[in-house]
């Protein structure tokens, strides 16, 4: 399977009446088994792009080719859980075909076993984000979209969840699209990084990472980090 994105533009009409360009032409594609990472400054139009790719926003110029039978798993920026359903029900409602064994395994990996019957209102943000991850993985997606899934979590927890995402992504062939503004997430999880400009967003640089995710050790990561920083500096783009 393959996701092809060819957006030629997206314009809003602002409240004042004038047109407002959010996205410049953007073109990229990702394959099954690949993790594409969109890195860009806050407010550059990443979420708008995701909404277009997910089919939530059809009012744009261009074309998005997504296999129609592709199952989608999504982790929104806010967890978007149903507050009136328990953790387990939240997952099962999105993924009715999930087996008990698979569900238990997901809950074990994400350390949610103790919270199965809790309501989302009783969870911390970190836990709620993990439930959102469990939900996205439980549908066994062909296309997995992660919109800043680790934002506003402390470094230790973010690091652990990042490893868990890597484990889960490796467990099956899936096209993954990760949106982040953290270079750390990008180089640890991504196969191909797309750096976006401020609004209206366009891709200013595409960087593949040749070394497979599992084989990137700290030395390699440091090298990649330096390399990317240098390239970005040349482009006068800043990242964390």
Partner 1 sequence: MLRILSIALLLAIWWTAALFVGGAKLPSPPVVLHVIIAEAASGALFLHLGATLARVALAFALAMSAGSAIGYLMGRVTLADRLGDPWLILLLNLPALVVIVLAYIWAGLTEAAAIAAIAINKLPTAVVTLREGTRALDRSLDEMASVFAMPRWRAFRHVVLPQLAPYIAASARSGLSLVWKIVLVAELLGRPNGVGFEIGVAFQLFDTPRLLAYSLTFAAVVLVIETALVQPFEARATRWRPRAA
Q: Which residues bind partner 1 (CB under 8 A)?
A: 51, 54-56, 71-74, 76, 78, 80, 82-85, 89, 93-96, 119, 121-122, 135, 139
CA distance 235 to 102: 45
Contact (CB, 8 A) for 23 and 45: yes
**For partner 1, the closer CB: 80 or 172:** 80
Shortest distance, position 15 Cβ to partner 1, whole Å = 18
Q: Nearer to partner 1 by C-beta: 55 or 67?
A: 55
Cα 58 from Cα 38, distance rounded (Å): 21
Q: How far is the CB of 70 from partner 1 (least distance, A)?
A: 10
Nearer residue to partner 1 within complex by CB, 27 or 71: 71
- Report, in Å, the least distance between residue 123 CB and partner 1: 10
The least distance separating partner 1 from the CB of residue 83, rounded to whole angstroms, comes to 6
CB of 180 to partner 1, least distance (A): 19
Q: State how far the Cα of 138 lies from the Cα of 93, in Å rounded to an integer.
A: 10
Q: How far apart, in whole angstroms, are the C-alpha atoms of residue 144 and residue 170?
A: 12
Dihedral sign for Cα atoms in the order 49, 61, 26, 23: negative
Q: Tell me 201's DSSP state.
A: B
The residue (of 57 and 184) whose beta carbon lies closer to partner 1 is: 57
Minimum Å gap between C-beta 74 and partner 1 is 5
Rounded CA-CA distance 133/38 in Å is 18
DSSP assigned state of 114: G
Closest CB to partner 1 among 80 and 108?
Answer: 80
Strands of 35-39's sheet in order across? 72-75, 143-147, 175-180, 35-39, 192-196, 203-208
In the bound state with partner 1, the residue whose beta carbon lies nearer, of 20 and 85, is 85
Q: Does the CA dihedral 7-146-41-227 come out positive or negative? A: negative
How far is it, in rounded angstroms, from Cα 49 to Cα 60? 10
Contact 188, 216 (CB under 8 A): yes
Q: How near is the Cβ of 205 to partner 1 at its closest, in Å?
A: 29
Asked whether the beta carbons of 102 and 64 are under 8 A apart, the reply is: no
- C-beta closer to partner 1: residue 70 or 221: 70
């Amino acid at each position: 399977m393959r996701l092809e994105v060819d957006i030629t533009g997206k314009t809003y009409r602002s409240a004042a009446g004038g047109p407002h360009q959010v996205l410049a032409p953007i073109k990229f594609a990702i394959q099954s088994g690949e993790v594409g990472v969109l890195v860009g400054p806050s407010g550059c139009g990443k979420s708008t792009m995701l909404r277009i790719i997910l089919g939530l926003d059809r009012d744009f110029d261009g074309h998005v080719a997504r296999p129609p039978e592709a199952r989608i798993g999504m982790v929104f920026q806010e967890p978007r859980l149903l507050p009136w359903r328990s953790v387990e029900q939240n997952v099962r409602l999105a993924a009715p075909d999930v087996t008990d064994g698979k569900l238990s395994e997901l809950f074990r990996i994400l350390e949610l076993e103790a919270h199965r019957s809790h309501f989302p209102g009783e969870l911390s943000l970190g836990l709620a984000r993990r439930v959102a991850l469990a939900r996205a993985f439980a549908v066994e997606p062909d296309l997995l979209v992660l919109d800043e899934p680790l934002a506003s979590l402390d470094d230790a927890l973010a690091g652990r969840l990042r490893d868990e995402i890597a484990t889960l992504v490796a467990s099956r062939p899936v096209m993954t699209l990760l949106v982040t503004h953290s270079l750390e997430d990008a180089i640890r999880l991504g196969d191909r990084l797309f750096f976006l400009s401020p609004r209206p967003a366009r891709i200013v640089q595409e960087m593949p990472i040749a070394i497979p995710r599992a084989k990137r050790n700290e030395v390699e990561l440091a090298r990649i980090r330096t390399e990317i920083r240098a390239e970005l500096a040349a482009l006068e783009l800043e990242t964390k």
